[in-house]
Amino acid sequence: MYFNNKKIVLLSLSIFLIGSVKAQQPAQIQMSLNQIWEKVAANNKTIQMQDLKVKGTVEGIKDAKAERLPEISAEGEYAKVSNMPIYTNGLFHTPEQFEVVHTSYKFGGSAYFNLYNGNKTNIKIAEEKKENEIAVEQRNLTTSEMKLRATAYFLDLQRSNIFKALLLKDISDQEKQLEEIKQLLKNGVVLKSDVLRVTLKLSRQKMALVQLNNDLAIANQKLNILTGLPDQTVIEPVVQAKDELPVLQPYTTYLSEAMQHSFAYKISEKEGELRKLELKNVKANVSFKVGLFANYAYSYPQIFIYPYSVALYGLGMTGIKASFPISAFYHNTHKARAAELRYQQQEVEHSDTEDRIRQEVNEAYLRYQESLTRIDVAKENINQATENLRIVNNTYFNQLALVTDLLDADTQLLQTRFDLAAAKIAAQLQYYQLQKAIGNL
């Protein structure tokens, strides 16, 4: 019985330890770029702030529409009234005291319904709607920017993984080559300095591997924060090996799409429309105001109409009220001029935004074109570096070349492979930058 209990305890402890080890291991998930974008759109805090801003503008529209409803108010008043001294013989003589009712109160309500106020209510509603449109486009722009940033981190992970695989293979090849050179040293064919140089290079490669692992961890955390995932999550980028880079379209095609879909262009355009509405709102200050009004109140005592009465009375009025702000002719002049200048400033800013979009599209277009050329050059360089290593490797082990030549050939081949991987990743990033510039990301 003792041994059975001991076995049970040991088994429970083993299960607990295994569970603890598994719990400590970081979660690894495979994710494609589209899945990363979905996570960003759903969990990114910057986008969530823009969503709240959009909701705030929706409430602003509702508030502006509510101004069409009548204004209704209720009021009450309670007071204690003092005696009324009457100075029949002047201020410096003793007055006569006139008895009054010492308690006074009043309660009632009033309402006002606007019929016309220079169309300011409709202009205010239009302004709030325009604010909402701008907020929506700003959210779209922010989403596009966050997607591009996530794309950069995702591609950085992908590139680092490729570099790591290439570096591990190179380290493995270097270790085998080091064993061959050590064997030649035993046979007295090569110098000890050859072994030292190869060992030194191998040590540097291993240090580069440590740095590469740190780069992976840093990029992974950045992507986790951007997508709202826990820091411990290890993201493994899903690489679509069969996917080819999109064919480059004519520059005019991208420029035309940018002027139709660019979020920055739409925001600038709507900002100009908003400034125009603000100008109309200021000009509407010089206009008639017409509305219906009604009020009814109970008061005590009755001192509104002679003869007075110490009693509660009720009185109401209803009618139409009109006013015209004559002073607005000179008070509103500079306000209208300032609004006009803000509108003109926004027109210039809109033109400047168009220039910046053209420049952004042109730069992204040329960089993408450049990256495609760089891929072709990198492929050719790999072929040349491979052949060069083959020749140097044969000549070294035939004692016709120095070890420095062999190390240089190894380094050149590894570097060309790095260059090809980097060129492919850079081409993808440049393509997405071009899509962001034209408003398609």
Q: What is the pLDDT of residue 424?
A: 87
Report pLDDT digits (tens) over 403-422: 777 777 877 887 888 888 88
pLDDT in tens, 131-169: 999 999 999 999 999 999 999 999 988 888 888 888 888
**Which residue, of 323, 341, 367, is where some domain finishes?**
323
Range of the domain at 226: 29-69+117-288+324-437
Kindly state whether residue 173 falls inside one of the protein's structural domains: yes
For residue 314, the cross-strand partners are: 298
Q: State whether 247 and 373 are in the same domain.
A: yes
Provide the pLDDT for residue 83. Answer: 82
Final residue of a structural domain among 269, 304, 323 = 323
Most confident of 85-99, 158-172, 314-328, 384-398: 314-328
Q: Is residue 339 part of a domain?
A: yes
Give yes or no: residues 105 and 187 share one domain: no
Is position 92 within any domain?
A: yes
Number of structural domains the chain divides into: 2
The per-residue pLDDT for range 76-103, each reduced to its tens digit, is: 999 988 888 888 888 888 888 877 788 8
Identity (one letter) of the amino acid at 340?
E
Domain end call among 323, 342, 374: 323
Q: Give the pLDDT mean for 285-308.
A: 86
pLDDT value of position 21: 41
Q: How far is CA 145 from CA 20, 148, 168, 247, in A?
A: 40, 5, 34, 23
pLDDT on residue 7:
52
- CA distances, 234 to each of 27, 57, 135, 157 (Å): 6, 38, 34, 10
Q: Are residues 103 and 122 in the same domain?
A: no
Element (H, E) at 76: strand 71-80
Q: What was the pLDDT predicted at 6?
A: 53
Q: Are residues 100 and 226 in the same domain?
A: no
Do 168 and 225 lie in one domain? The reply is yes
In whole angstroms, what is the distance from residue 274 CA to residue 342 CA? 10
| Rounded percentage of the chain residues whose pLDDT exceeds 90 | 32
Q: Do 192 and 302 lie in a common domain?
A: no
Residue 17 confidence (pLDDT): 45
77 & 65 share domain: no
Residue 54 belongs to some domain of the structure = yes
Q: How does residue 228 score in pLDDT terms, banded at 50, 70 and 90?
A: confident
Q: Give the max Cα distance, the chain.
A: 140
Q: Is residue 9 part of a domain?
A: no
pLDDT for the residue numbered 89: 83
Let me know whether 334 and 317 are in one domain. Answer: no
Q: What is the pLDDT of residue 128?
A: 93
Q: Is the pLDDT of residue 22 over 80?
A: no
CATH number at residue 319: 2.20.200
Residue 20: which pLDDT band, with cuts at 50, 70 and 90?
Answer: very low
pTM: 0.79
> Is 23 part of any domain?
no
Residues 147 and 176 in one domain: yes
pLDDT of residue 1: 46
- Please provide residue 309's backbone torsions phi and psi, each rounded to the nearest 5 degrees: -145, 135
Q: Are residues 221 and 127 in the same domain?
A: yes
The number of angstroms, rounded, from the C-alpha of 49 to the middle of its chain's C-alpha atoms is 8
pLDDT tens sequence across 182-214? 887 777 766 777 778 878 878 888 888 888 889
Question: Is residue 369 one of the residues assigned to a domain?
Answer: yes
Quick one: pLDDT at residue 401? Answer: 67
Cβ atoms of 255 and 359 within 8 Å: the answer is: no
- Are 409 and 393 in contact by the 8 Å Cβ rule? The answer is yes
pLDDT for 9 beyond 70: no
The predicted structure's pLDDT at residue 386: 83
Average pLDDT, the chain: 84
Q: Is 439 helix (H, G, I), strand (E, B) or coil?
A: coil
Same domain for 257 and 310? no
Residue 23: the pLDDT is 44
**In this structure, what CATH number is given to the domain that contains residue 256?**
1.20.1600.10
Same domain, yes or no, for 279 and 405? Answer: yes
Mean pLDDT of 53-64: 93
Asked if omega into 250 is within 30° of 0 (cis), the reply is no
Model pLDDT, residue 87: 84
Strand partners, 107: 76, 298
What is the pLDDT at residue 4? 53
Structure tokens at 111: 């309402």
pLDDT at 61 over 70: yes
Percent of the chain with pLDDT over 70: 92
**The CA-based dihedral angle spanning residues 152, 156, 158, 160, taken in that order and rounded to the nearest 10 degrees:** 180
Q: What is the mean pLDDT of residues 266-279?
A: 92
Question: Does 332 reside within a domain?
Answer: yes
pLDDT on residue 352: 93
Question: How far is the CA of 260 from the CAs of 127, 352, 439, in angstroms?
Answer: 23, 16, 8
Q: What is the spatial distance between Cα 209 and Cα 167, in angstroms, rounded to a whole number? A: 7
Comparing C-alpha atoms, which of 335, 346, 353 is closest to residue 276? Answer: 346
pLDDT at 178: 78
d(Cα 22, Cα 15) in Å, to the nearest integer?
11
| pLDDT confidence of residue 91 | 81
